[in-house]
Copies of this chain bind each other. A is one copy, B any other.
Amino acid sequence: MEHSEVKAIYNKYIREKNLRDTKQREFIIEEFLSSKKHITVEELHGQLEKRTGNIGIATIYRTLKVMCECGLANEIKLGREKARYEQSFGYEHHDHLICEKCGKFIEAKDERIEKLQKELVKKYGFSPRAHKLEIYGLCSACKQKRRKDG
């Protein structure tokens, strides 16, 4: 669990793009990789404040953008909420079931849906680059709670 593979990809990317290796980015990436999935910039900023002292929030935005560019993170934007970021290395594409009560993200996957999507775009001569399936509703825990609360 040393994140060496992710860091190797990151290092390769910054070399290719003539970016520089900085302490701040290392701290941010380390913290990002060690955190819960679907973290916000604000949350990361708070965690870094405690562990490594202040790092400008703009730098966190910038670093996560780089992580997305090199395919190591995904940005998830829902409606008007602030963006969340998830690791993408070692994770396959998945859909999100999003609980509108507690905010939980459930990651789900169905090979058959993926396959049908490929058929769908083909029908329209469309070349897909990425796709996103989000299902909004109530998770089972919140459903039960609601039943009790009335």
Contacts and interface: CB of A to CB of B under 8 A. Distances in A.
A58 interface: no
Interface in A128-149: 128-140, 143
A124 B95 CA distance: 13
A15 interface: no
Interface stretch (A25-33, A36-44, A109-117): A109-117
Given A80-B77, A126-B106, A129-B100, A137 B112 contact: no
A132 B133 CA distance: 6
Interface residues of A, number: 36
B126 A137 contact: yes
A133 B131 contact: yes
A117 B128 CA distance: 20
Contact of A134 (B100, B125, B127, B132): B132
Interface of A: 77, 79-80, 95, 97, 99-100, 106, 108, 110, 112-113, 116-117, 119-121, 123-140, 143
Which 7 A/B pairs are nearest by Cβ-Cβ distance?
A: A125-B140, A128-B137, A131-B135, A129-B137, A127-B138, A127-B137, A133-B133
